[in-house]
């Protein structure tokens, strides 16, 4: 319903010349102002209302001017944006529609990705990433593993430079080798571990060579030899004895040890080469003198009186042989103690009779490998007697020859304590030592002449003296010394028994 007051004032509105909007009675501001006019008295309407309206208009103008000065830039920017709003809104609507279309595709791709690269499924790319991450986390460990062959080679090289005294380096090398073997067993399908193991095997071959070379050392001690054999057992387990129930319990290590020490013995004896050459000259002189004697088969004492160089050579030879052979066999029995109690080690040798051979009748001896020590003393004896048979005939002086025979018997007694007594073989020297290079007829004739002259070989007398002296020494050592004394010449004398 239109307010009557509003209808009365409508004709007074200046709408034609103004761009202002048309005021209606429904406007809240118009309705509020008309309500206020009805409450004013007429005098106030005539005198004060126009001033109040002018004052309010001026105040509004100032407020608008202040707002314009403060918000000029914001208003201009808002106006610019508003001018492009009719173009931006369609684009925004189009993009929103496109987003609505793409969201299901994005969701499907996310589901596909989570399904493809889930930890519960197998994926080649994920496996590669896992391996790469694992390698990155274990880079230090891989570097240490790759350094193992270099460390092993360094330990072996330092051990070889320091010899058998380098216990720590050898032990370190063997520990590294054991660790690499364990890695190879655990990761046998790894090409990296296979490559490292191949390099290790090449280095261990060098270590085996160094250890074997150390067994051939000139002055190797028992402790060093035992350590070296222990290291060889770890480095080369294939040299160990097999469980075949036979008599060879030390395996190929026993043979290796004896061969190395025998090589050292031969090398040590070869240092006597200058003396041997002088002895060879005496042998040639003796043979020439014998050939000039008219083939009588016996060398005249006036024709040849040499033998000093041969005596010197044989003394040195027997001395070295006794020390080295005793050391080899005693060291062997200390390193391989099982060889002492082996029944099959009791084989028949030139210094043992057939009655002392102990065998097991229930075992086939042809299938049991012999002990390494079974024939070694026999080989040493052959080595000694070959030299004696060649050079002992050069010694013509009886005292010198008896001295050499006594030295040989001492050597036989030394080996006899280890089961290698060859004292009975001294008879072979007297029987075949005259001249082995002549015909059988000449040897038989010379043998007959010797029997006619001496009746007994020289070895018999030397053997009797040696046994008598050994008995006296044994009696003195056991504390039974009554009735014994020493002659002025330095020899022992014993009172005759009743």
Query: What string of pLDDT tens digits covers the 498 residues of the chain?
Result: 457 777 777 777 765 555 666 677 777 888 888 888 888 888 887 888 888 888 988 999 999 888 888 888 888 888 888 888 888 889 999 999 999 999 999 999 998 888 887 777 777 888 888 888 988 898 888 888 899 889 888 888 887 776 655 677 788 888 888 899 999 999 888 898 999 999 998 888 888 888 888 888 888 888 888 988 888 888 888 877 654 444 556 778 888 899 999 999 999 999 999 998 998 888 888 888 877 765 444 444 444 566 788 889 989 998 999 898 888 988 998 888 865 555 433 333 444 443 444 444 444 445 455 677 888 888 888 888 888 888 888 888 888 888 888 888 888 888 877 877 776 676 666 544 444 344 444 445 444 544 444 435 565 565 566 566 666 656 666 664 444 444 444 444 444 433
What's the rounded Cα separation, in Å, for the pair 284 and 217?
35
User: Looking at residue 400, what is its pLDDT?
Assistant: 83
Which residue in the block uniquely carries the two structure tokens 């027997």? 318
Among residues 321, 269, 309, 290, the alpha carbon closest in space to that of 442 is found at 290
Burial class, 241, CB count within 10 angstroms (exposed 0-12 / middle 13-18 / buried 19+): middle
Torsion 309-311-315-318 (CA) sign: positive
Two tokens, residue 392? 């002992």
Burial class, 413, CB count within 10 angstroms (exposed 0-12 / middle 13-18 / buried 19+): middle
Distances (CA, A) of 46 to 35, 49, 59, 120, 381: 17, 7, 21, 93, 163
Torsion 427-433-434-437 (CA) sign: positive
User: Looking at residue 260, what is its pLDDT?
Assistant: 92
Identify the DSSP state of 416.
Answer: H
Among residues 317, 119, 156, 306, the alpha carbon closest in space to that of 231 is found at 156
User: Looking at residue 9, what is its pLDDT?
Assistant: 76
What's the rounded Cα separation, in Å, for the pair 409 and 415?
10
Among residues 217, 218, 260, the alpha carbon closest in space to that of 239 is found at 260
User: Looking at residue 188, what is its pLDDT?
Assistant: 87
User: Looking at residue 429, what is its pLDDT?
Assistant: 65
User: Looking at residue 100, what is its pLDDT?
Assistant: 92
Burial class, 4, CB count within 10 angstroms (exposed 0-12 / middle 13-18 / buried 19+): exposed
Characterize 295-323 residue by residue with b for buried, 16 or more Cβ atoms within 10 angstroms of its Cβ, and e for exposed.
eebbbeeeebebbbbbbebbeebbeebbe
At 143, give phi and psi (nearest 5°): -65, -40
Helix 308-335 with 222-235: angle, nearest 10 deg: 50
Q: What is the model's pTM?
A: 0.59
What's the rounded Cα separation, in Å, for the pair 446 and 175?
67
């Amino acid at each position: 319903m239109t307010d009557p007051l509003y209808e009365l004032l409508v004709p007074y509105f200046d709408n034609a010349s103004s761009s202002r909007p048309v005021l209606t009675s429904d406007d809240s501001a118009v309705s509020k102002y008309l309500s206020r006019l009805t409450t004013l008295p007429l005098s106030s309407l005539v005198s004060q209302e126009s001033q109040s309206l002018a004052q309010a208009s001026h105040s509004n103008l100032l407020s608008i001017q202040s707002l314009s000065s403060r918000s000029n830039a914001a208003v201009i920017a808002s106006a610019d944006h508003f001018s492009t709003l009719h173009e931006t809104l369609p684009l925004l609507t189009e993009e929103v529609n496109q987003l609505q279309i793409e969201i299901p595709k994005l969701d499907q791709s996310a589901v596909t990705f989570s399904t493809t690269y889930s930890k519960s499924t197998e994926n080649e790319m994920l496996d590669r990433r896992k391996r790469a991450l694992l390698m990155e986390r274990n880079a230090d460990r891989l570097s240490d593993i790759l350094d193992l062959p270099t460390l092993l080679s360094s330990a072996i090289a330092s051990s070889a430079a320091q010899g058998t005294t380098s216990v720590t380096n050898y032990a370190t090398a063997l520990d590294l080798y054991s660790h690499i073997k364990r890695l190879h067993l655990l990761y046998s399908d790894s090409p990296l571990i296979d490559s490292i193991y191949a390099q290790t095997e090449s280095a261990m071959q060098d270590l085996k060579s160094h250890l074997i070379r150390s067994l051939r050392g000139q002055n190797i001690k028992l402790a060093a030899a035992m350590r070296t054999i222990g290291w060889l057992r770890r480095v080369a387990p294939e040299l160990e004895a097999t469980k075949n129930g036979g008599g060879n319990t030390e395996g190929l290590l026993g043979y290796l040890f004896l061969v190395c020490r025998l090589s050292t013995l031969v090398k040590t004896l070869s240092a006597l080469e200058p003396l041997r050459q002088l002895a060879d000259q005496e042998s040639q002189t003796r043979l020439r003198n014998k050939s000039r004697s008219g083939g009588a088969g016996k060398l005249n004492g006036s024709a040849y009186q040499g033998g000093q160089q041969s005596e010197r050579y044989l003394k040195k030879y027997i001395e070295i042989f006794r020390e080295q052979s005793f050391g080899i066999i005693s060291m062997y029995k200390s390193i391989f103690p099982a060889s002492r109690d082996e029944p099959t080690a009791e084989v028949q040798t030139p210094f043992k009779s057939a009655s002392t051979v102990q065998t097991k009748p229930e075992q086939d001896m042809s299938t049991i490998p012999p002990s390494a020590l079974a024939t070694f003393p026999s080989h040493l004896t052959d080595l000694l007697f070959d030299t004696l048979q060649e050079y002992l005939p050069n010694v013509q002086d009886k005292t010198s020859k008896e001295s050499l025979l006594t030295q040989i018997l001492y050597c036989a007694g030394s080996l006899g304590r280890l089961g290698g007594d060859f004292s009975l073989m001294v008879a072979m020297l007297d029987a075949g030592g005259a001249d082995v290079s002549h015909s059988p007829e000449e040897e038989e004739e010379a043998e007959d002449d010797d029997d006619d002259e001496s009746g007994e070989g020289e070895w018999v007398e030397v053997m009797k003296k040696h046994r008598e002296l050994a008995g006296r020494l044994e009696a003195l050592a056991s504390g039974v010394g009554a009735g014994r004394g020493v002659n002025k010449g330095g020899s022992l004398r014993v009172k005759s028994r009743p």
